[in-house]
Amino acid sequence: EADIYQTPRYLVIGTGKKITLECSQTMGHDKMYWYQQDPGMELHLIHYSYGVNSTEKGDLSSESTVSRIRTEHFPLTLESARPSHTSQYLCASSDHQGIYEQYFGPGTRLTVT
């Protein structure tokens, strides 16, 4: 079983609030990712990182930001939550060796009211 953790698992928050979704992995993986997934839909990449101090935007336009100060930690922040941010957020990591088999966390289900 992959050692990648996300907190909180569920979050209900009001519009305009600032939130940070936490993701940590203990596998020493260089590459980490954030995906957004709506029910019955494919995963959409919103951010990724090749390693410490590296952050990149994914294919899906997002109003969130990420940071990578430590290898094991890759938090995602929404400065001002909106109802359109309601979704499942999945964090993943992989070894940076060419073939990116990804190991996913359990996800954070976010509801913005």
* Binding region for other proteins (CB under 8 A): 2, 4, 6, 40-43, 45, 48, 56, 59, 90-92, 98-107, 109
Max CA distance (Å), the chain: 41
Q: How far is the CB of 64 from other proteins (least distance, A)?
A: 18
Q: How far is the CB of 23 from other proteins (least distance, A)?
A: 11
Contact criterion met (CB below 8 Å) for 63 and 79: yes
Q: Is 15 or 54 the residue whose CB approaches other proteins more closely?
A: 54
Strand pairing partners for 24? 5, 73
Q: How far is the CB of 34 from other proteins (least distance, A)?
A: 12
Q: Which residues of 9-29 are buried (b: 16+ CB within 10 A; e: fewer)?
A: eebebeeeeebebebbbeeeb
Q: Is 17 or 43 the residue whose CB approaches other proteins more closely?
A: 43
Q: Is 17 or 88 the residue whose CB approaches other proteins more closely?
A: 88
Distance (Å, rounded) from C-alpha 90 to C-alpha 104?
A: 7
Q: Is 11 or 43 the residue whose CB approaches other proteins more closely?
A: 43
